[in-house]
């Protein structure tokens, strides 16, 4: 079975994740890449990111996800995303803290393109959100999101919580909040903290096995991995237990290896733990 056939059959997920960089202006308590302002950047250059999008499309993938670190700390990010969005639809995970005031203009190249910004908001109130994500984070997000929506950008909200810890009341209040911004419930994700990276050091999150993670191909500067949750960092050392290949381009190399691994899985092993 080719990679394209596997995607069409649903054996392989149709999205490729790209870690654009690992540094971040925040230092979230559960960050699985231990990202912070002091992190090694591990940036994947724009030419490689665009090449991944090209080759992903040729192989039959249908979507690109970009994550980090905080991708928008890169000055070339918007132009790179725009180039990628000419090839495949792109979802960019961001903390939205870089869009204050006139700086929101950095998103201009993305308006009108098949680009979706997925923005983290972990609680309906500042205190519990900022406890996890850093001072003033709540205020910056509620300032940025409606202005992004107003500019015509599609926005998704992602709420990351300790498994089972989001109360019905808080869930309802989060939904009320995003609906006021014109974001409907389909664009609100609630997902568990996974015990990797900083979450492992702080004892947060759910432990998981490889086969509980959707086998999405994820590429970073230091290799290609099983799942967007594969290229994690612990103690400033890159984890390798979900590493597929060090080669990321040509993308067929890790994609074919991933397919071999997926085909070797026992039937019914593809349960996931609510991660999108």
CB of residue 104 vs another protein: minimum separation in angstroms?
41
**Is 28 within 8 Å of 131 (Cβ atoms)?**
no
CB of residue 268 vs another protein: minimum separation in angstroms?
19
**Is 75 within 8 Å of 29 (Cβ atoms)?**
no
> Cβ closer to another protein: 55 or 239?
239
> Cβ closer to another protein: 124 or 214?
214
CB of residue 4 vs another protein: minimum separation in angstroms?
21
CB of residue 257 vs another protein: minimum separation in angstroms?
6
At residue 179, the 3 state secondary structure works out as helix
> Cβ closer to another protein: 153 or 213?
213
Q: Which two tokens stand for residue 93?
A: 């995970």
**Is 52 within 8 Å of 58 (Cβ atoms)?**
no
**Is 138 within 8 Å of 130 (Cβ atoms)?**
yes
Within 164-223, the residues that bind another protein by CB under 8 A are 210
How many CB atoms are located within 10 Å of the residue 260 CB?
Answer: 10
> Cβ closer to another protein: 36 or 253?
253
Rounded CA-CA distance 85/76 in Å is 14
* Candidate list 241, 263, 269, 271; residue touching another protein; CB under 8 A: 241
* Pair type for strands 243-245 and 223-226: antiparallel
Establish if 111 lies at the interface with another protein (CB under 8 A): no
H or E element at residue 256: helix 252-263
Establish if 243 lies at the interface with another protein (CB under 8 A): yes
x/- mask, another protein, residues 61-100, rule CB under 8 A, reads ----------------------------------------
**Is 107 within 8 Å of 148 (Cβ atoms)?**
yes
* Candidate list 242, 251, 255, 259; residue touching another protein; CB under 8 A: 242
Rounded CA-CA distance 76/200 in Å is 32
Of the candidates 236, 256, 276, 264, the residue with the CA atom closest to the CA atom of residue 55: 256
DSSP 194: B
x/- mask, another protein, residues 4-33, rule CB under 8 A, reads ------------------------------
Establish if 253 lies at the interface with another protein (CB under 8 A): yes
CB of residue 163 vs another protein: minimum separation in angstroms?
23
Q: Which residues bind another protein (CB under 8 A)?
A: 210, 226, 237, 239-247, 253, 257, 260-261
């Amino acid at each position: 079975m080719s990679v394209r056939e596997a995607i069409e059959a649903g054996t392989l997920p149709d999205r490729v994740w790209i870690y654009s960089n690992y540094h971040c202006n925040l230092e979230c308590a559960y960050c699985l890449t231990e990202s912070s302002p002091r992190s090694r950047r591990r940036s994947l250059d724009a030419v490689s990111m665009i090449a991944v999008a090209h080759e992903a499309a040729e192989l039959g993938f249908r979507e690109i996800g970009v994550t980090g670190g905080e991708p928008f700390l890169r000055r070339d990010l918007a132009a790179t995303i725009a180039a990628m969005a000419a090839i495949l639809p792109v979802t960019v995970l961001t903390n939205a803290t870089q869009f204050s005031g006139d700086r929101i203009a950095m998103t201009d190249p993305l308006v009108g393109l098949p680009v979706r910004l997925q923005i983290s908001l972990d609680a309906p109130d500042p205190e519990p959100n900022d406890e996890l994500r850093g001072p003033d984070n709540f205020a910056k997000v509620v300032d940025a999101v409606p202005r992004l929506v107003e500019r015509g950008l599609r926005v998704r909200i992602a709420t990351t919580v300790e498994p089972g810890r989001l109360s019905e009341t808080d869930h309802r209040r989060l939904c009320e909040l995003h609906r006021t911004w014109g974001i409907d419930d389909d664009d609100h994700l609630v997902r568990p903290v996974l015990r990797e990276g900083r979450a492992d050091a702080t004892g947060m999150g759910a432990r998981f096995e490889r086969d509980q993670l959707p086998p999405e191909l994820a590429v970073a500067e230091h290799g290609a991995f099983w799942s967007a949750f594969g290229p994690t960092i612990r103690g400033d050392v890159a984890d390798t237990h979900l590493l597929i290949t060090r080669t990321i381009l040509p993308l067929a190399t890790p994609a074919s290896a991933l397919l071999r691994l997926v085909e070797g899985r026992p039937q019914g092993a593809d349960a996931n733990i609510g991660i999108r």
